[in-house]
Amino acid sequence: MAETVKLFVNGQEVEVESGKNLIDAFKVIGVEIPHFCYHPALGADGNCRMCLVGIEDGRPPLVPACKTPVAEGLKVQLDTEKIKKIQHDVMELELINHPTDCPVCDQAGECTLQDYYMTYDHQASRMRVPQVLKGKKMDFGCGVIHDQERCVLCARCVRFTRLITKTGELGIVNRSDEARVTTFPGRKLDNRYALNVVDLCPVGAMTSKDFRFKQRAWFLSRSSGICHGCAKGCNIFIDHNREKGGDDRIYRFRARHNGLVNGYFICDAGRLSYHQENEGRLGTTRLAGKDCTIDEAVETARRKIENARKPLFLISPNCTLEQMIAIKGLATARKGRVSGYSDSYIMEGDGDDFLIRDDKSANRAGFAALGIDTTLEAFRLALNEADLLVNFNNDLLRSEASGTFTEKLSALTVIAVSSHDNTLTRKATVAFSVSSYSEYGGTIINQDQILQRFTAAVVKNDPVPNMIEVVRLLGGPVTDDVTITKAMQDAIPVLAGIEATAFPTAGLNLKEKETDHVTA
């Protein structure tokens, strides 16, 4: 912990980190100061007045907590009658024109206004005049739906487009009860991070068109995960639910804070990439295009691998380190070649300087850490010599550039171990259905050499095996956790010094430890 200061909260002495404002500093020690407009990523705006706190013997005696840095000996009052009255009055003001349409509002259940009403207000409305009516269900573009009546004018969304994306599509027009958030005429939201305003909005004013009416917030289980959309490895919440009579299904991704990787935000493409976890999956294990049991498939695949003179094992750059180690073990045992060639995952020029990366795979850095070749030359050479291709979830033909392989591939026997249905699984002699990244756990390294761990979030009714399990069935020697951990520690020595339970939640920056890091 950085430097600390001692101050008083409601007469009680506490020690908090210095250099923060009161809201952030107190949050760490479990003291909540209510606020609408303040957000750590957007800074203090001080417009909502909900975070006003009293300072004993202070000049002025009332300060907004978001704009007040912690100071030695500060006597902060949070529970005086005056502060409670202010919180109550601010809540009453916010609710004057609030439509209270919680039954149809997607935010209900995770709404700051609802929570604060129960904690700080809890009074019936005194308003006897008709409410001001504003625009509802306005399409702001980029899949954002805005409801002006629900808005508390905290300006988080406005500040997001100005400070973070620097596009400034949103603004607040008019004053007093006519004030409203809107876009400029004919210029809707147009940036690749726009859906973050849905997360940012403390109330239900900004909702996602994609998630609209799909689920109520309280039905969803929130599991932590890592987005596999690009090489950034943004941290996400995987919100999923098993409906009555249905299967465990993902309904949305939300940004999860990780200061080391993505901060508070994720891109829209990553946010909507949950669709790929639900759809287009290779549901069943197939033998020559027909559904079969896993035993039949294993028998055929084993025979083919054993009979092959030069098998080529192609690994997806989305595989975890554990999976890569297991596959490498199998390849070594079968005297085959391993390739991580996956140029088809790279979309040149698509990335930006914020979160989106050119490389649309999650663990390419893992190839380097484990010494797996990824070059086109080596792959082409291996492919020409090979008589069997065992493809581990590598979507080789996902982009046009890979079309040159189709001729060679058509002459080759292919065994596909895949989570999704693609061209290669359709032409494969044997296709194993395996779990995807929301259903297994593992370790990945992102483009900035941050090593992150994630655990399984979704548990299907009929779970398909993890890729490591299929590798074991195919005769891979390295498949149990202990051996894999050992191999991983050999490849990344810094891991050896870290207990599994003490692994940092934000991930491990491998660059910082470069001095004692020796690549295998």
Partner 1 sequence: MTVKIKTLERQGSTFIEKLYLVEVFRGMRTTFGHFWRILLDNSKSYVRHYPEVKPEITPRWRGRHRLTTHEDGTMKCVACFMCQTNCPSHCISIEAGERVDGKSEKMPIRFEIDLLECIYCGYCVEACPMDAIRMDTGIYSVISSERSSVVKGMDELLATPGAFSEEDYKKRGL
Among 41, 62, 93, 102, binds partner 1 (CB under 8 A): 102
Of the two residues 108 and 459, which places its CB atom closer to partner 1 in the complex?
Answer: 108
Kindly provide the residue ranges of all beta strands, DSSP E only, lying in 227-379, ordered along the sequence: 235-242, 248-255, 286-287, 290-291, 311-315, 337-339
Q: Per-residue x/- marks for partner 1, 52-91, CB under 8 A?
A: ----------------------------------------
Task: Name which of 403, 381, 398 is nearest 312 in CA terms.
Answer: 381
**Interatomic CA distance for residues 102 and 123, integer angstroms:** 17
Q: Least distance from C-beta 108 to partner 1, angstroms?
A: 8
Q: Is 118 in the site for partner 1 (CB under 8 A)?
A: no
- What secondary structure does DSSP assign to 392-436, as a single string? ES--TTSSGGGGGGHHHHHTSEEEEEESB--HHHHH-SEEEE---
CA gap 112, 204 in Å, rounded? 9
Shortest distance in whole angstroms from residue 139 CB to partner 1:
13
Least separation in angstroms between CB 102 and partner 1: 8
As measured in angstroms, the least distance from the Cβ of 223 to partner 1 is 21
Smallest gap from residue 259 Cβ to partner 1 (A): 35
Q: Which residues contact 142 (CB under 8 A, 6 or more apart)?
A: 188, 189, 190, 191, 194, 195, 268
**Using the rule CB under 8 A, which residue among 6, 122, 136, 303 binds partner 1?**
136
Given 130, 186, 245, 349, the residue binding partner 1 (CB under 8 A): 245
Asked whether the beta carbons of 458 and 419 are under 8 A apart, the reply is no
Give the shortest CB-117-to-partner 1 separation in angstroms.
15
By CB under 8 A, name the one of 13, 15, 56, 101 that touches partner 1. 101
- Would you give the binding string for partner 1 spanning residues 437-456, x where CB under 8 A is met? --------------------
242 binds partner 1 (CB under 8 A): no
To partner 1, the closest distance from the beta carbon of 28 in angstroms equals: 33
Q: Is 244 in the site for partner 1 (CB under 8 A)?
A: yes
Residue given tokens 């993505």 in the structure block: 262
Which residues lie below 8 Å from residue 378, measured CB to CB, with a gap of 6+? 339, 341
> Does residue 104 belong to the site contacting partner 1 (CB under 8 A)?
yes
Beta carbon nearer to partner 1, 84 or 136: 136
Spatial distance between the Cα atoms of 493 and 516, rounded to a whole number of angstroms: 8
Distance of alpha carbon 17 from alpha carbon 26, whole angstroms: 9
Distance CA 357, CA 458 (A): 26
Among 67, 75, 88, 214, binds partner 1 (CB under 8 A): 214
Q: How far is the CB of 334 from partner 1 (least distance, A)?
A: 49
Q: Is 103 in the site for partner 1 (CB under 8 A)?
A: yes
For the chain, first and last CA: distance in Å?
Answer: 34
213 binds partner 1 (CB under 8 A): yes
HSE (side-chain half, CA atoms, 13 Å) at 515: 1
85 vs 212, beta carbon nearer partner 1: 212
3-state secondary structure (DSSP) of residue 277: helix
Distance CA 50, CA 68 (A): 14
Can residue 124 be called a binding residue for partner 1 (CB under 8 A)? no
Minimum CB–partner distance for residue 283 and partner 1 (Å): 23
- CA neighbor of 486 nearest in space, from 321, 318, 317, 314: 321
Cβ closest to partner 1, residue 41 vs residue 102: 102
Q: Which of 88, 216, 310, 398 binds partner 1 (CB under 8 A)?
A: 216
Q: Which stretch binds partner 1 (CB under 8 A): 59-67, 190-198, 216-224, 226-234?
A: 216-224
Q: How far is the CB of 213 from partner 1 (least distance, A)?
A: 4
Give the up-direction half-sphere exposure of residue 415: CA atoms within 13 A in the CB hemisphere. Answer: 22
Element (H, E) at 305: helix 294-307
Least separation, in Å, of the C-beta of 215 and partner 1?
9
Instruction: Work out whether 139 is an interface residue with partner 1 (CB under 8 A).
Output: no
Residue 461 binds partner 1 (CB under 8 A): no
Scanning 99-107, 158-166, 221-229, 344-352 for contacts with partner 1 by CB under 8 A, the matching segment is 99-107
Return the range that interacts with partner 1 (CB under 8 A); candidates 212-220, 327-335, 377-385, 454-462. 212-220
CA distances (Å), 18 to each of 1, 54, 64, in order?
A: 10, 19, 17
The tally of CA atoms less than 13 A away on the side-chain side of residue 168 is 3
* Contact residue for partner 1 among 82, 84, 122, 137 (CB under 8 A): 137
Q: Which of 218, 377, 407, 516 binds partner 1 (CB under 8 A)?
A: 218
Distance of alpha carbon 45 from alpha carbon 42, whole angstroms: 8
The footprint of partner 1 (CB under 8 A) covers 101-104, 108, 136-137, 212-214, 216, 218-219, 243-245
